[in-house]
Chain A
Amino acid sequence: MTSRDSVFEALDATKRFGALAAVDGITLRVGTGEIYGLVGPSGAGKTTLIRMLSGLTRPTSGRAELLGAVMPSARRTVEDRFGYMPQERAVYRDLSIGENLLFFGQIYGMTRARIRERTRELLSLMKLEGHLRQRADRLSGGEKQRLSLACALLHEPEALLLDEPTIGLDPALRREFWDHFHVLNRMGRTILLSTHYLNEAAWCDRVGLIQRGRLIADGTPDALRARASRISGRDETEMEDVFLVLTKAQPTEGRR
């Protein structure tokens, strides 16, 4: 049932921590060239789902696939084809921007010359020029986040798993990040990202609404708006209202 086009795929993926089901039977598929947004409140299970897709966490049941490889068992076959940005601004605080990028380039087997070239490109894209020698712990939150994104993009992966890439950024910077995402997307990158800023859902090609470990709605922003409008009988345009309507309607709609 794996289609050749699917970059990220979850099939009834479930992750339990003791009695708690952090992810509870989620099925979704993200095709090549899409920007897919996992939207939902903190603790809804977005991070766990992303970790399953990245191979960091083994599903308790069901399966998670990335570029056709079952994760985590076949992760070695696709390890250099995707980029992962964890929720923590996962960079080495005691290394400079240049050294962080050098390390992440080296472990992906890039040559020093290529790393230098990519570093130049990314620093200009992320507006971090001139900060090459600055230590990560002296960067502002936004700069650190841009460095973290740069680390995920360095080896030019075709698929990107970004966990809350815009968390804690001011609205202007968030817009900038989204501009990057759209640029990357136009270059053919497939992006699956999570966010708890509901308005960002409108900027995705497709959106999955997650609540308490379950995918309660999945579709284009317009389709979700239309569905919410049908339920509420009003014209729902704000993603926040869409989310509220669909959340409320969820128990009667049942699972999936």
Chain B
Amino acid sequence: MRTHRVRAVTERVLRQIWHDKRVLTFMMILPAIAMVLFGYSFSGEISDVRIAFVDEDGTDLTASILDNLQADDAFDITPLATTEDPEQLLLSEGYTAVIRIPDKFTSLYYAHFAMGVATSAQGTIDLTLDESDPQIASTVRMGLADALMDLGEGGPVDIETRELYGVEIRFIDSFAPAIMGFVVMLISTVLTLLSVVREKVDGTFARVWVSPVRRAEFIVGYVVAFGLIALAQSLIVLTIGKAVFDIVINGSIAWAFACTILFAVGSVGLGTLLSSLAQTESQAIVFFPLVLLPSVLLSGMMWPIQAIPRLLRPLSYLVPLTYSNRLMRAVMVKGLAPWEEPVGLAGVVVFVILTIAVASVVLRQSAGEAE
């Protein structure tokens, strides 16, 4: 492998991108858009859920339940003294939930604890809930459970929580590491794919193939170019993350960059191997959703893998971004070294080795037997 030829390929790829101002702009703006758009809209924070709180008991206990609910940002609570028909309230007044605390709730509640579980009737709260949006519905359930849990002395259970890693971590903090991998993968894969297909279509690939350039030099040339681009994109994500969202970074930025670049290498390999499946640029475009959709939906970027149906979960473990997310979150949020997240690191390394090996094989084929 000769460095001057690698450098020639790298320099050429960077020049081509530099000349295409639209691609250049897109590349630099994508991380920003992804952070702002996904960051805001998927922040996971539900707010302004309208709830009617019907307190027919009217004791200190029920008042503190109301206080607890009102303290929750997710809810917009309207206290009511009584209701005939909670369902009617829900249907006609546009509430998402009606929480009704019946008369004698407080006395039953205390009696229950005083007398023991088996011997007494329990205090009951009526919850009428609009289930059309499961996520909102579960927020209401959890919010109500929290409000009841937090009644102080005499409450049913006391949960002592030790918060690890993500003390005060918000969605956006663990989202930024994911978006770094996502943006880098998308750009590196798509641009490599388009660039190699274009070389085949235009015939420049044949020219390079008969020249002294080796396959390895060709691939490394691309890898270096997109490694540099990945670095720039990571910087953008981090800058926006810090400036706009004030994200928390507990770990080493140097490790984060190193992991991103490693992931970019695999993405270049993926783009190269996909290029062998396309004869024209328009055929290549077919692969974009193939890269994009699983990464967005299955990688645990937007919601945890545990939230993905069991049936689909094995697919999650085939998506390279899944491992990048684990690795990047371990490094940036938990402040670990890459090898302390062995599954994520191994996943990314396997991705790199597999794609580069296959890319190197298919590159020979597309050079040898093209047309």
Contacts and interface: CB of A to CB of B under 8 A. Distances in A.
Nearest to A75: B210
Given A57-B368, A92-B12, A94-B19, A107 B202 contact: no
B367 A56 contact: yes
B206 A79 contact: no
Nearest to A85: B207
A17 B8 CA distance: 34
B5 interface: yes
Contacts of A79: 210-212
B206 A103 contact: no
Given A90-B203, A104-B211, A152-B207, 5 more contacts: A58-B368, A88-B203, A94-B20, A95-B16, A108-B211
Given A56-B367, A107-B212, A99 B204 contact: no
B367 A93 contact: no
Contact of B4 (A47, A84, A106): A106
A120 interface: no
B104 interface: no
A168 interface: no
A56 B12 contact: no
Contacts of A106: 4-5, 7-8, 11
A95 B202 contact: no
Contacts of A88: 201-203
- Looking at B4, B20, B204, which has the most chain A CB atoms within 10 Å of its CB? B204
B369 interface: yes
Nearest to A103: B12
A76 B214 CA distance: 10
A118 B12 CA distance: 19
27 contacts: A51-B206, A55-B210, A56-B209, A79-B211, A80-B212, A82-B210, A84-B206, A86-B203, A86-B207, A88-B201, A88-B202, A88-B203, A90-B206, A92-B12, A93-B202, A94-B16, A94-B20, A95-B15, A95-B16, A103-B8, A103-B11, A103-B12, A104-B207, A106-B7, A107-B9, A108-B212, A135-B19
Interface SS of A by simple majority: loop
A85 to B, nearest CB: 8
B368 A90 contact: no
Interface string A88-112: 1111111100010001101111000
The dominant DSSP class at the B interface is: helix
B202 A91 contact: yes
A145 interface: no
A135 B2 CA distance: 28
B49 interface: no
Contacts of A107: 5, 8-9, 208, 211-213
A84 B7 contact: no
Interface string A110-138: 00000000000000000000000001000
A79 B368 CA distance: 15
A57 B369 contact: yes
B297 to A, nearest CB: 33
A99 B15 CA distance: 8
A151 B207 contact: yes
B286 to A, nearest CB: 22
A95 B128 CA distance: 66
A195 B187 CA distance: 41
Interface in A161-217: none
A92 B204 contact: yes
Interface string B196-224: 00000111101111111100000000000
B263 to A, nearest CB: 26
